[in-house]
């Protein structure tokens, strides 16, 4: 429920300390509250047991803790769990827990809907309704960590920003969420276990490099031929591959972090030698690796998974040029939890 009280999680550590000082209490109370919020992930002032009852009641009177609720859970035969997440204003996004051997990966959403128009993606069919706040992204991670402990007996190990939305179009909140996840005052996870996936917005890739981020970058390339890319991702008319490449060069110079290209091979779209050679050339420009991902049909007739031979041909040419590559099988397909399938279908929205 939306509350008229101020969301305490909008306050920085400094602001919380200031708040307590002004009340004549010790500033370290602010640090204690911060730890409850961002290190332990609690959603209730009453759970903050190292504060006096009076302080807890006072906080409750003045603040709220807006938080997500896992509204519905679907489990795939392969162990993948898809969550429908109810936000404080009633909107819904999805997050996915993907168990792989001894690891658990959380795939989180960054926007309600998406403003981009990738023709092969189910989320793109939903208009962008709003950006998620940092805490709404953080909460998805905490919820999946809890699920991982309950169902698989281990904590969450990796996070991918590959759910609904374009993370770079919600730059500040996405980076703030990563700060809370990686900071020692927050969950303390290594940024090397986090991957942000973007459709490739050059200006914002540069900004991340300038901001010296330490997480991994994945770019949804799908074609290194400009005309083809524009056909399947129409917004790319504004972002030519030459600009993308410049931005990626800059990223590598600043971060020394190898880029992952996500790439789906479709029949009659990019399954020929022209596209294979273009990809190999593109990959040679900046240290990178390629994830060839399986297409998850979303009911678009124009898009069909390419043949196995075409995918093998891609692998052959990439490997011959010493470009690391792998074929990533879809997970959670039976519950529409795979890449590009997140569209709040279960709720019929
Ligand atoms: N907006 C971001 C993150 C969300 S999409 C991005 O574009 O990277 C996560 C990945 O799934 C992207 O690589 C995207 O291109 C891919 N994807 C989208 N629809 C897909 C589909 N139907 N099948 C397989 N992959 C898909």
Nearest CA to ligand 1 atom 9: 162
Domains located in the chain, CATH noted: 6-64 (1.10.150.530), 69-347 (3.20.20.70)
Residues in CB range of 157: below 8 A, 6 or more apart: 103, 104, 105, 193
Q: Indicate the top mutation candidate among 229, 264, 342, 343 to test ligand 1's pocket, ranked by most ligand atoms within 8 A of CB.
A: 264
Nearest of 242, 287, 297, 294 to residue 263 by alpha carbon: 294
pLDDT of residue 346: 56
Nearest CA to ligand 1 atom 15: 220
Q: Which two tokens stand for residue 184?
A: 């020692």
Q: Indicate the top mutation candidate among 140, 170, 197, 292 to test ligand 1's pocket, ranked by most ligand atoms within 8 A of CB.
A: 197
Beta bridge partner(s), residue 105: 98, 158
Task: Tell whether the model's pLDDT for residue 349 goes beyond 50.
Answer: no
Task: Tell whether the model's pLDDT for residue 72 goes beyond 90.
Answer: no
Q: Relative to the CA of 218, which ligand 1 atom is closest?
A: 8
Q: What is the mean pLDDT of the chain?
A: 93
How far is 286 from 217, CA to CA, in rounded Å? 13
pLDDT in tens, 248-275: 999 999 999 999 999 999 999 999 999 9
Nearest CA to ligand 1 atom 7: 199
Pseudo-torsion of CA 247, 257, 262, 275, nearest 10°? 60
pLDDT of residue 2: 58
Q: What is this structure's pTM?
A: 0.94
Ligand 1 binding pocket, CB closer than 6 Å: 118, 120-121, 162, 166, 197-199, 220, 262, 264, 293, 295-296, 298, 339-340
Q: What b/e readout covers 274-305, taking b as 16+ CB neighbours within 10 angstroms?
A: ebbebbbebbeebebebbbbbbbebeeeebeb
Nearest CA to ligand 1 atom 5: 162
How far is 23 from 46, CA to CA, in rounded Å? 19
* Mean pLDDT in residue range 31-55: 95
Task: Tell whether the model's pLDDT for residue 10 goes beyond 70.
Answer: yes
pLDDT in tens, 132-155: 999 999 999 999 999 999 999 999
Catalytic residues: 94, 339
């Amino acid at each position: 429920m939306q509350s008229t009280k101020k969301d305490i999680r909008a306050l920085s550590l400094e602001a919380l300390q200031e708040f307590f000082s002004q009340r004549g209490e010790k500033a370290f109370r602010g640090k204690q509250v911060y730890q409850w919020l961002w290190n332990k992930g609690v959603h209730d002032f009453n759970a903050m047991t190292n504060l006096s009852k009076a302080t807890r009641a006072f906080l409750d009177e003045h603040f709220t803790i807006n938080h997500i609720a896992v509204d519905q859970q679907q489990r795939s035969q392969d162990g993948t769990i898809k969550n429908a997440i109810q936000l404080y204003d009633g909107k819904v996004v999805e997050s996915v827990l993907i168990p792989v051997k001894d690891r658990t990966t959380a795939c989180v959403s960054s926007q309600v809907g998406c403003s981009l128009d990738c023709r092969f993606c189910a989320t793109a069919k939903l208009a962008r309704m709003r950006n998620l706040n940092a805490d709404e992204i953080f909460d998805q991670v905490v919820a999946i960590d809890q699920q991982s402990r309950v169902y698989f007996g281990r904590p969450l190990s990796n996070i991918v920003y590959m759910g609904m939305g374009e993370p770079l179009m919600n730059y500040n909140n996405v980076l703030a969420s990563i700060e809370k996840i990686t900071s020692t005052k927050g969950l303390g996870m290594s940024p090397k276990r986090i991957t942000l996936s973007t459709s490739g917005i050059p200006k914002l890739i540069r900004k991340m490099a300038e901001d010296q981020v330490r997480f991994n970058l994945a770019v949804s390339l799908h074609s290194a031929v400009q005309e083809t890319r524009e056909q399947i991702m129409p917004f790319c008319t504004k972002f030519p591959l030459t600009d993308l490449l410049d931005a990626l060069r800059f990223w590598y110079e600043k971060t020394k972090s190898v880029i992952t290209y996500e790439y789906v091979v479709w029949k009659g779209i990019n399954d020929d030698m022209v596209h294979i050679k273009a990809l190999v050339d593109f990959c040679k420009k900046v240290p990178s690796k390629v994830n060839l991902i399986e297409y998850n049909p979303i009911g678009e007739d124009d898009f069909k998974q390419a043949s196995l031979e075409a995918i093998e041909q891609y692998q052959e040419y990439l490997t011959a040029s010493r470009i690391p590559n792998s074929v990533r099988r879809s997970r959670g397909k039976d519950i529409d939890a795979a890449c590009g399938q997140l569209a709040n279908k279960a709720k019929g929205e």
